[in-house]
Amino acid sequence: MSRIIVCPLDKIAELSVRHGAREMVSLIAEKQDFHRPAVIAAARHLKLKMNDIGFAGTGTLIAPSEAHVEQLIAFVKDWDQSAPLVVHCWMGVSRSPAAAVIASLALYPEQDEVELATRLRKVAPHATPNTRLIEIGDRHLQRDGRLVQAIKRIGRGAETDGRASFVLPVTAQVEIENRAS
């Protein structure tokens, strides 16, 4: 059941219930208020307060930071993977796809970065992972720039209205098993 459900804020309740999720990561602006779906326990909801920006020093906006990525990695390493994990941001295009990729590599570091980025593009033609999160994740996961290059290789995602959700299999093996069933 190692799958990550990536979605915009307005789909978290629907998709949490539909997929039987019990854990969630929110990458959302500091003052963005929303209700956690009842199926997600407060103790298994990680809130990472950040804006969707690629650099620090932008006044009151909060850039993704080392601490955010450290918290994300620690949280997903504690995920038992018995049910899907919901990862969301405002539109499900930049911060949450980046977090899903980082989570996947944190759990299964033997994965090839190019294969993972290609898998992301296949399930999410609209995804444009936040470059700052990817750069920090690359460093924390000791990918030596390979993750950054793999994400650059897939390029900017297709235009979207922000209502596109997707399921990222955590490993290629899960994708193979899903096709067989």
Q: Identify the pLDDT of residue 173.
A: 64
Q: Which pLDDT tens digit goes with each residue over 44-89?
A: 999 999 999 998 877 889 999 999 999 999 999 999 999 999 999 9
With residues binned 3-state (H G I as helix, E B as strand, rest as coil), the percentages for the chain, rounded to 5, are: 45, 15, 45
Average pLDDT over residues 110-115: 97
Q: Identify the pLDDT of residue 159.
A: 83
- Strand order, beta sheet including 45-49: 45-49, 23-28, 85-89, 3-8, 166-169
Average pLDDT over residues 97-118: 97
Q: Please calculate the CA angle 12-13-19 and round it to the nearest 5 degrees.
A: 85
Contacts of 111 (CB under 8 A, 6+ apart): 104, 105, 171, 172
Q: How far apart are CA 144 and CA 150, in angstroms?
A: 11
pLDDT value at 7 more than 50 = yes
Amino acid 175 reads: E
Q: Identify the pLDDT of residue 180.
A: 33
Q: Identify the pLDDT of residue 6.
A: 98
pLDDT value at 103 more than 90 = yes
Percent of the chain residues past pLDDT 90, beyond the cut: 83
Q: How far apart are CA 88 and CA 149, in angstroms?
A: 24
pLDDT value at 22 more than 80 = yes
Q: Identify the pLDDT of residue 158.
A: 87
Average pLDDT over residues 5-27: 97
Contacts of 121 (CB under 8 A, 6+ apart): 127, 154, 157
- Integer CA distances (angstroms), 145 to 24, 85, 151, in order: 28, 26, 10
Q: Which pLDDT tens digit goes with each residue over 122-131?
A: 999 999 999 9
Q: Identify the pLDDT of residue 176.
A: 40
CATH superfamily placement of domain 3-180 = Protein tyrosine phosphatase superfamily (3.90.190.10)
Q: Which pLDDT tens digit goes with each residue over 144-178?
A: 999 999 999 999 998 877 678 999 999 876 444 44
What DSSP element (H or E) covers 168? strand 166-169
Q: Which residues pair with 8 in a beta bridge?
A: 89
Q: How far apart are CA 158 and CA 65, in angstroms?
A: 26
Q: Identify the pLDDT of residue 179.
A: 40
